[in-house]
Amino acid sequence: MILLIQRVSEACVRVDGEVVGNIGHGLLGFVAVEPGDDDATARRLVARAIAYRVFDDEAGRMNRSLADTGGELLLVSQFTLAADTRKGLRPSFTTAAPPELGRQLFERVVEHARERLPGKVATGRFGADMKVALVNDGPVTFWLRFSAGTPNESP
């Protein structure tokens, strides 16, 4: 599973001109599911996202997490993060999970996040043509990768 997080001062997702998810200060997380991912992977991804220290402390150092700041989380499914771009000029998506598994595990990520951050999680709409607007705070962006059966993200 891949998670691209951006520290934001605000972010929103629109589908067909309608806002379906928005947050203020917090994290925007783009999530890609890969074959072999499972519920345990989804659980680790959420735990890491909430605990990852990307917010400034009083000294201006990134020592505070989303949990520490009380910020919000906007989760957006984005299978293109799992694309194989090693050859040619067109990405291959054979490295992304099939759509039904992607939907299932993205929904699990959302459930786990809502359990840990009640009232502070918004989402896009899986499989929809989404328009994402954000104000990246910093800018601060991190790419994390989680593999099924391993406790840490890989490079």
> Which residues are designated catalytic?
78-80
- CB 76 within 8 Å of CB 32: no
Q: Which two tokens stand for residue 17?
A: 């001109």
Question: Environment class of residue 87 by beta-carbon count within 10 Å: exposed (0-12), middle (13-18) or buried (19+)?
Answer: exposed
Sign of CA dihedral 95, 100, 103, 107: negative
